[in-house]
Amino acid sequence: MTAVTEKKVLLEVADLKVHFDIHDDKQWFWQPAKTLKAVDGVTLRLFEGETLGVVGESGCGKSTFARAIIGLVKATSGRVAWLGKDLLGMSDTDWRKTRSDIQMIFQDPLASLNPRMTIGEIIAEPLRTYYPKMPRQEVKDKVKAMMLKVGLLPNLINRYPHEFSGGQCQRIGIARALILEPKLVICDEPVSALDVSIQAQVVNLLQQLQREMGLSLIFIAMTWRSSSTSPTACW
């Protein structure tokens, strides 16, 4: 008899809420602020190696939800657990260690890259942050290997973001997100700013990297038709 291996739960979100106080221009200053419920009571569970699709119209809170998971937006209430540990109540030191396991790919590839840095420096930045004593040559070798993995020629390492197309810039962003070999990658509409002809290439690359590296993905999109992905779960 073959034993059934149970998949590990990586991320568990329970009743997550992100509310913002907003003031209308027509309100008097003494009147209470109105509440914008960007995320209101989201509960989900993500398993190892799984792709979770987060689908919704523009402005429905998809990106806010993603940013709350990685701490870029403060949650109002709820629980976000990573491998059983509560992220929302985690100390800065522990969160920094965990952060290397959770990376994000942003919607606008060019805007997410520092124009003053070469792509080699951009991809290497997480390594410099988490492994400051890593030898320079080892960093360079890892960057070149990751460039090849995402479909970029290593001889482009000293070029700047403005010298690349949108699809190539997104590959640079993917390389930066994966250089630390994370367990989870949050893809915030990673193809919506790209030409239709390039979208499928980027999605196929992400699926290939998921298989090769054993990644879990949270894929945010307005429609699955535009992203051509097949999530194992969908919220």
pLDDT digits (tens, 9 = 90+) for 172-223: 999 999 999 999 999 998 888 788 888 999 999 999 999 999 999 999 987 7
Query: What residue segments make up the domains of the chain, in order of their start?
Result: 9-21+33-234
User: Which backbone phi and psi does 84 adopt, to 5 degrees?
Assistant: 85, -10
pLDDT digits (tens, 9 = 90+) for 155-171: 999 999 999 999 999 99
pLDDT digits (tens, 9 = 90+) for 97-107: 898 999 999 88
pLDDT of 2 strictly over 50 = no
pLDDT digits (tens, 9 = 90+) for 35-91: 889 898 999 999 999 999 988 888 888 889 999 998 889 999 999 999 999 998 888
Amino acid at 205: L
Domain 9-21+33-234 has CATH 3.40.50.300: yes
Listed range (17-31, 110-124, 207-221) with the worst mean pLDDT: 17-31
Chain CA centroid to CA 53, Å: 13
| Tokens at 161, concatenated | 């973001």
